[in-house]
Amino acid sequence: MIMKIEPLGLLVTFGILLICSGLYYRTPIPIQPMKAIGSAAITQAAAITPGMVWGAGIFTGIFWLAMGLTGTLDIISRMVTKPVVRGIVLGLGLSFIMEGIKMMKSDFIVAVIALAITFMLLAGRRIPAMFVLIIFGLIAALVRNPELFKELSGIHFDFQLPHFVLGQITWTDFVKGTLILGIPQAPLTLGNAVIAITAENNRLFPERPVTEKKIAVSQGILNLISPLFGGIPMCHGAGGMAGHVRFGARTGGALIIVGVFLLITGLCFSSSVLLIFKIFPLSVLGVILFFAGLELAASARDVGREKSDYYTLLATAGFAIWNMGAGFIAGIIIQELFKRKVFKV
């Protein structure tokens, strides 16, 4: 357990929200943990309490609900041009590719085999590549470490329901969670989980469009629900959609399948969940992340005909690799400088 957050509440809320997202949007608009909050919570685990994480989630829910319902987000989204949006997507894709390669280094041989399998299956599109990768990953883990067979015998059925944790969140938790976790996450969420996900969904599924307002309100609602039952702050990320689409998802059905799996795992096997996830090889996860990055990066096209559009695209992407929020802000500034002819290329 990270920060003493029980897998029970985390998995159950995660699963339910995935199912709801699949049913509501009918496209692979994902639910995923917030990157900045998750990273800070892991790297500063000694200083971050569960109450602070839940408090950050409640702040995040209130913030995005307000941004969507007051129309503030509509004003911001009108300021964003296509080169900035595509730059954010490109930066996110490249960061996924680099992180995927790092993860593949943990077991180079398994990664190479997984890459070959994925390329062949994606070319044919008859057999679901993700399903085959999961099976291959489990087999590879057991072959590499036969001791896992003994550990798997420790998995047991243990039905539990999540608890309502609002009473465990103090005012201090809420304030610290907001300042340390929630506010630093906001620019990243704006760039990746509002602007970029809206653009990606509408590009891939023009018959089922969404708006920035709808996405923001949705994130507000899910973050007012998840922390109350022991879950963590969640968002709709463009990277998650890229992963689903790259491996064949075209409807919300993929989210429902994953959601049902997480829900059953949380309700029935939460005490064994760390063991369940331990057996899956990091290198195979790296392959999945690598292909999700390729899908995202490849979509960064049709930005315009002017040279300044490509400058804005690449500059935004460069900053976005480092920090999504910084990429968004840098892109806005650069496009305005070109628009006012402060820069000429």
Residues 270 and 150: their CA atoms lie apart, in Å, by 19
CA diameter of the chain? 67
Tracing tokens 């620019």 back to the chain, one arrives at: 187
Closest CA to 235 of 190, 294, 286, 285: 190
Residue pLDDT tens, the chain, 345 long: 555 788 899 999 999 999 999 999 999 999 998 877 877 776 676 788 999 999 999 999 999 999 999 988 888 878 788 888 888 889 888 988 999 999 999 999 999 999 999 988 887 767 778 888 889 988 988 888 888 777 777 777 888 899 999 999 999 999 999 998 898 888 878 888 898 899 889 999 999 999 999 999 999 999 999 999 999 999 998 888 888 888 888 899 999 999 999 999 999 988 887 777 778 889 999 999 899 888 888 877 777 778 898 899 999 999 988 877 788 888 989 998 998 888 777
Q: How far is CA 295 from CA 15, 94, 279, 282, 292, in A?
A: 25, 10, 27, 20, 5
Tracing tokens 């798997």 back to the chain, one arrives at: 152
Give the burial class of 333: count Cβ atoms within 10 A of its Cβ; 0-12 exposed, 13-18 middle, 19 or more buried.
Answer: middle
Give the burial class of 167: count Cβ atoms within 10 A of its Cβ; 0-12 exposed, 13-18 middle, 19 or more buried.
Answer: exposed
Closest CA to 30 of 238, 231, 334: 238
Interhelix angle 238-246/282-298, rounded to 10 degrees, is 100
What's the pTM value of the predicted model, to 2 decimals?
Answer: 0.82
Tracing tokens 């990066």 back to the chain, one arrives at: 297
Where are the domains positioned within the chain? Answer: 7-339
Residues 293 and 291: their CA atoms lie apart, in Å, by 5
Tracing tokens 């922390």 back to the chain, one arrives at: 227
Residues 166 and 226: their CA atoms lie apart, in Å, by 11
Residues 109 and 144: their CA atoms lie apart, in Å, by 11
List phi, psi (to 5°) of 299: -85, -5
